[in-house]
Amino acid sequence: MTVLAAPGVLAVSSVSNILIELGAVLLVLAICGRFAARVGLPSIPLYLLAGLLLGEGSPVALEASSEFIRIGADLGVVLLLLLLGLEYTPEELSHGIRTNWLAGLVDFVASFTPGFLGGLLLGWDPVACVLLGGITYITSSGIVAKLLSDLDRLGNRETSTVLSLLVMEDIVMAVFLPVAAVLIVGASVVEASLSVLLALVVVAVALFVSLRHGARVSRVLDSTSPELLLLTVLGTTFLAAGLADKAKVSAAVGAFLIGVMLSGQIAERGRVLLSPIRDVFGGLFFIFFGLQIDPSDLPPVAVPAIALAIVTSASKVGTGWWAAKRAGVGPKGRRRAAAALIPRGEFSIVIAGIGTAAGLERDLGPVAACYVLLLAVGGSLAVRYTQ
């Protein structure tokens, strides 16, 4: 029986459906995680496939809890990048960017170009081609962060090179996203320039504060109480991520920079307190990504998606190998760095969403979904089995 609710209050039946669906989703995550651990696979591909089976066109499609899962997915990305930032000091970040900027430039040219040219070959509008270039360029920081943590590779020598490239990619996205929005609406050169300038200023200020005042910020936020420390770090991170997103800069970049800013004892204790929360919400992110894909849309665009996946995987592998070699990493580390750049995920879907919402190309969304699913799963397996 449905019980009518007062304005602004959910009906009892709606609340019960949400709780039932959320309970089922969390149990699916637990089952996938246990199976992955038993057979020695990363959990991410199984989370993605589970989301695909529960998404559009599924007889057990989630409806009541989809909005909550979407919010949980957004929180998961933020927490993944926060924990990733806690692993490195501002000095390590600065050194990595200074020493790997050339590799970052090569990374952009080698991975953006195939997507742009692929769009032209498909006969798409030039703006849609630019968006497809962004989709093929950006590695999934969220997936890579989870893989490196699950496989206990955060302390490996090649990881600093990988993270430097990922940070530069996220900073490029801070410029790319406002440029894409301007291109879609056909804004003037002045408006485009102002959007890019604002994004660059926000990132520059955040980096400056991290490098010059990180230790002071850590002292202010630290607390001997686990409860107060957790509330303070989470509140600061979500606030910074939200402000970064408002300024058209990636929320993930804001969360990462907060993590970098925190150092010493607060970083060590923060990792311990936040890791279980990150794993839960991170799992919701990967489930949510799968929920957005209708399996029936994938076969018609499989050929161009597979072609793009092969070409851009090769470009990422070449970039990762070369960047690790320049950093003095040995052959095994170079192979791991090469594989770590393959997965695509959250940013690619965000870019595709911008294009589909604007009605640029009917096939942009399905191509992006098929492409990302191929490389999220295939890339995760490549990282797992590359030694």
Residue 1 has pLDDT above 60, yes or no: no
Answer whether 353's CB lies under 8 Å from 21's CB: no
Residue 3 has pLDDT above 50, yes or no: no
Tens of pLDDT, residues 251-281: 777 787 788 778 777 888 888 888 888 788 8
The whole-number pLDDT of residue 312 equals 96
Tens of pLDDT, residues 192-232: 677 667 767 776 777 777 777 777 777 788 888 888 988 99
Residue 58 CA, chain-centre distance (Å), reads: 25
Give, in order, the Cα–Cα distances in Å from 362 to each of 125, 135, 260, 367.
11, 16, 40, 10
The whole-number pLDDT of residue 11 equals 53
Q: How many residues does the chain have?
A: 387
Tens of pLDDT, residues 136-183: 999 988 788 888 888 888 788 888 888 888 878 877 876 787 777 777
Tens of pLDDT, residues 345-375: 877 877 887 787 777 888 888 898 889 889 9
The 8 Å CB, 24+ separation contacts for 358-362 are 358/184, 360/124, 360/125, 360/127, 360/128, 360/131, 360/184, 361/124, 361/125, 361/128
Average pLDDT of the segment spanning 290-311: 87
The whole-number pLDDT of residue 2 equals 40
Identify the structural domains of the chain with CATH numbers, from first to last.
77-285+295-385 (1.20.1530.20)
The whole-number pLDDT of residue 13 equals 53
CA angle 19, 242, 100 (to 5 degrees): 115
Residue 341 has pLDDT above 70, yes or no: yes
Split at pLDDT 50, 70, 90, the class of 316 is very high
Against a cut of 0.85, is the pTM above it? no
Tens of pLDDT, residues 39-54: 767 777 788 788 878 7
Query: Distance between CA 233 and CA 49 in Å, rounded?
Result: 32
Give, in order, the Cα–Cα distances in Å from 94 to each of 81, 84, 98, 176.
17, 15, 6, 22
